[in-house]
Structure 1
């Protein structure tokens, strides 16, 4: 007998855990969480260079993050 989707328990997510979910990979999201960056507003207090130094951030992740920020009219601070 196969499981129905209705039998799967729903998981309660912490909104801060969901920050950038589906935008960047888990290692990069964990690095931001470690730095207590849990909103685009807080992210805009950092330069691109500062964020690139965090674990999990490379060119591809930064490109995805910058695209997402631009869609939301948020930008990194000038270095």
Structure 2
């Protein structure tokens, strides 16, 4: 799985809606955001967080 920093990774629709609703439209924007903050978004579950973390890791980035 290769992820682009300019798009969101392939996560479920509820998680994608949660991110776009919070103003995030690309993986790059998620770097440094606290994991706990993302976990509070409605529709964001452990699986989606894991996918985001793995995608960030591919680029040497991390959640905050």
* TM bracket, shorter-chain basis: 0.7 to 0.9
Which blocks of at least 5 consecutive residues in structure 1 are unaligned?
Answer: 1-17
Give the alignment's TM-score, normalised by structure 1.
0.63
Greater Rg over alpha carbons, structure: 1
- CA-CA distance at 1:45 after TM superposition: 3.9
2:60 aligns to what SS in structure 1?
coil
Runs (5+) with no aligned partner, structure 2 = 1-5
Instruction: Find 2:14's aligned residue among 27, 31, 45.
Output: 27
2:30, 2:63 within 8 Å by CA — same for their partners in 1? Answer: yes
Are 1:66 and 2:53 matched, yes or no? yes
Length, aligned pairs only: 59
TM-score by length of 2: 0.75
Bigger RCO of structures 1 and 2 (CA < 8 A, at least 6 apart): 2
Q: Quote the residue 1:9 is aligned against.
A: none
